Amino acid sequence: MPGNVKVVERPRAESSYVRAAAKGMSITMRHLLSPNKKTQQYPDEKWELAPRTRGTHRMAVHEDGRAKCVACGLCPTVCPVNCIKLVPAEDENGERYAAIYEIDEFRCIFCGYCQEVCPVEAIHLGVHYENAEYSRERWVYDLERLVEQEHDVTALWDPQDPASQ
Amino acid sequence: MNPVAGGAFALATVGKVVLFFTVLMLAVMLATIFERKVCGFMQDRSGPNRVGPWGLLQVIADGIKNLLKEETMPEQAVRPFFLLAPVLAILPATILFAVIPFASPLPTPWGLVEMIVADVPIGFLYVLAIGSIGVYGVAMGGWASGSKYSLLGGLRGSAQMVSYEVALALSLVPLILLTGDVRAPEIVSMQQTFTAGPATYATWFVFPLLVGLFFFFVSGLAETNRLPFDLPEAEAELITGYHTEYSAMKFSMFMIGEFAHVITVAALVTVFFLGGWDIPFWQGDNIRVLSDGTVIGEPTWWKTLLTLGAFGLKTSLLVLVFVWIRWTLPRFRYDQLMDLGWKFMLEAVTVYILVIAFVILGIEAVGIPAGGWYAFVLFLVNLALAGALFFAMDRGTLIRGGAKGARSAGGDAAQGQGG
């Protein structure tokens, strides 16, 4: 034999094919008969998500339905992947609002900095994961779409334990 | 009541062909869903359950999908053989069923209809002959695809099936020694109890031929190309081997062929070793049609239905065993497979035939007539042989990688003697 091949001697109980096969067959049969199946019936039963799950965004609104965003420009600045597009504007009362506010959810890494940095608690990440779309364009959420979202917003920290202790 | 003859016989045969083919195809459909369900359960999943009750209609959805998918034709493929191979994969498995008796004879106003498509006098040899043809589908599909992976798969398949055919045929020789007849209905009758007519053994052949059953089952497993003998279609190495290049319904036909083969081998084991359509502990279903047309027993239509149920149940249980083995045992290495076939099975079966032949000679010299005691003596011999066999396999180095002395210093391939 070429080279120096190490041959490991194992006891019969470990190396016997017959015993190993019998053991394997008993294991599969036990699982076959076990009523404890792990499958989750997904569309019928859904995941229970943690309150701090970070998913697609949602924009908070005033009582009259206007977006809370004041177009301060902090979120596009802090965004590490540059996925937020913001064009500010001013109304007749001199209040700033977002004329264009778009988030490219394909680019987003769901870090949550935008929510953290927002001074008026307008933009939020959401507790949400079902995001299938028919086209890539649909993945760019505009302001209207962000306002329409209805899922829970992400809690960035546990209110009972703000310092994560 | 006499067996049907003349025009009624022809009509009955056509009816049986249509019926049996429909039932076999339905059984194949059910077998696919059964396999997926059982596999799911074994892996703590629930298996397909979206289409129809318990996912039963999943097979229909799959069938429609496969019919509507694009048929691809590789540029390098040899067209006529490429198209012929799926047909040759299905054909032997389905026509094998023709010699399998699946219920007790059915009385009709025109005579007694035997529940077997073709009661050919060489029943059992027909099984071996047609079983050998199965290799053509695999070898041809692999070669005609014009793909190296497929060619390897086809070569592996042909080598494997030819090797195990020897053991498959030899493992049935003790059965002939016992029955003295190769007709499948006669083999079933031999396992039942009769007060009149030629002597029978009154017990299923699983007892007097226990070791034979083991050999037949292992070779049958190898013939169907399923795990642990699925080297022709090894997914990881050969990208499913001989049917890599097939798509849509042509691929489906290979799958249907495989499942039909599984069902056929299960049915053969049932007929040869588990009493065929015989219902245990009940003598009412013991009906025998002798070759001269004499009928022993009282055939009725409900007995036919009951025995059909018994046959279906036994076959399904055996299919379950096939599935169970498939989802448990890992695939053999190719040299281990060949060693098992040529260096172990062949010798062991030959020795088994000799032992059974001498024991039968001895029993007849002592003067025990064919019947329960005859079978009991053989059963004891088989128990001893089975013990010795499993002891030898346990001590053997078939699957061991690093056994002492398994590799000789000269570097020849003498490793892995199976017992």
Per residue in A25-56, pLDDT (tens digit) is 999 998 888 888 888 888 888 888 888 888 88
Alpha-carbon gap: B352 to the closest alpha carbon of chain A (Å): 20
Q: What is the ipTM of this complex?
A: 0.72
| Prior bond of B3 cis (ω within 30°) | no
Q: Does residue B328 sit at the A interface (CB-CB below 8 Å)? A: yes
pLDDT tens for each residue of B58-113: 888 888 988 898 888 888 888 888 888 888 888 888 888 888 888 877 877 777 77
Nearest to B341 by CA among B132, B151, B168: B168
Q: Is residue A49 part of a domain?
A: no
B44/A24 touch (CB, cutoff 8 Å), yes or no = no
Structural domain boundaries of chain B?
6-401
Q: Tell me the C-alpha distance between B199 and B300, whole Å.
A: 24
pLDDT in tens, B38-47: 888 888 888 8
- Cβ–Cβ below 8 Å for A1 and B411: yes
Contact criterion met (CB below 8 Å) for A129 and A123? no
Could you tell me if residue A7 is inside a domain? no
In chain A, the percentage of residues whose pLDDT exceeds 70 is: 97
* Domain containing residue A109: CATH number: 3.30.70.3270
Asked if A20 contacts B398 with a C-beta cutoff of 8 angstroms, the reply is no
How many degrees, rounded to 5, is the angle at CA B5 between CA B3 and CA B10? 115
How is residue B321 written in tokens?
């065993």
Residues 6+ apart with CB under 8 A from A6: none
B 45-104 → A contacts, CB under 8 A = 45-46, 49
B50: nearest CA in chain A? A41
Say whether B44 and A38 touch across the interface (CB within 8 A). yes
Strand-pair partners of A84:
A103
Of the listed ranges A55-59, B91-95, B281-285, the least confidently predicted one is B281-285
Cα separation, B24 vs B381, in Å, equals: 37
Nearest to A28 among B324, B396, B404 (CB): B324
- Structural domain contains residue A79: yes
* Mean per-residue pLDDT, B228-233: 78
Q: B398: pLDDT confidence band, cut at 50, 70 and 90?
A: low
- pLDDT exceeds 80 at position B293: no
Chain A CB contacts of B40 below 8 Å:
39
Indicate yes or no: CB of A12 within 8 angstroms of CB of B395.
Answer: yes
* Mean pLDDT on A145-156: 84
> What is the least distance, in Å, from the CA of A37 to any CA of chain B?
5
Residue numbers of the domain that contains A62: 55-148
pLDDT, tens digit, for every residue of B248-275?
888 888 888 888 888 888 988 998 888 8
DSSP state letters, B53-74: GGGTTHHHHHHHHHHHSPPP--
> What pLDDT, on the 0 to 100 scale, is given for residue B409?
38
Chain A residues with CB under 8 Å of B409 CB are 1
B411 touches chain A (CB under 8 A): yes
Check residue B1 and give its pLDDT.
62
Instruction: Tell whether the model's pLDDT for residue B414 goes beyond 60.
Output: no
Q: Do B43 and A31 touch (CB under 8 A)?
A: yes
**Which pLDDT band, with edges at 50, 70 and 90, does B416 fall under?**
very low
Asked if B390 is an interface residue toward chain A (Cβ–Cβ < 8 A), one would say yes
Contact residues on chain A for B49, CB-CB shorter than 8 A: 41
C-alpha torsion B226→B227→B230→B235, nearest 10: 120
Pick the residue of A5, A16, A34, A36 with the most B CBs within 10 A to test the interface with B by mutation: A16
The partner residue sitting opposite A9, judged by closest CB among B327, B402, B409, is B402
| Interval B9-38: pLDDT, tens | 888 888 888 988 888 888 888 888 889 888
Confidence (pLDDT) at A2: 62
Angle (nearest 5°) at CA B341 between B244 and B408: 105
| Residue B415: band (very low, low, confident or very high) from pLDDT cuts 50, 70, 90 | very low
Structure pTM?
A: 0.79
Shortest distance between the Cα of B271 and any Cα of chain A, in A, equals 25
Q: CB distance from B43 to chain A under 8 Å?
A: yes
Judging contacts by C-beta atoms under 8 Å, the chain A residues touching residue B45 are 37-39
Is B38 within 8 Å of chain A by CB? yes
> Residue B408 has which token pair?
């000789």
pLDDT at residue B225 tops 60: yes
What is chain A's mean pLDDT, rounded?
85
Residue B410 has pLDDT above 60, yes or no: no
pLDDT for residue B413: 39
Evaluate whether B323 touches A28 at the Cβ level (below 8 Å).
Answer: no
Question: Is there a contact between B190 and B378 (Cβ–Cβ < 8 Å)?
Answer: no
pLDDT in tens, B126-180: 888 888 888 888 888 888 888 888 888 888 888 888 888 888 888 888 888 888 8
Amino acid making up residue B389: L
Contact A1 B404 (CB under 8 A): no
pLDDT for the residue numbered B401: 46
Write out chain B residues lying below 8 Å of A17, CB-based.
393, 396, 398-400
Mutate to test the interface with A, among B400, B407, B415 (most CBs of A within 10 A): B400
3-state secondary structure of B387: helix
> Is residue A164 one of the residues assigned to a domain?
no
Q: Residue B418 above 70 pLDDT?
A: no
- B302 burial type by CB count under 10 A (0-12 exposed, 13-18 middle, 19+ buried): exposed
- Indicate whether A10 pLDDT > 90: no
Number of structural domains in chain A: 1
- At residue B350, the pLDDT reads 92
**Does the structure show a pLDDT above 80 at B285?**
no
Pull the structure tokens for residue B275.
Answer: 């009493």
Residue type, A122: A
Q: Does the beta-carbon distance from A17 to B402 stay under 8 Å?
A: no
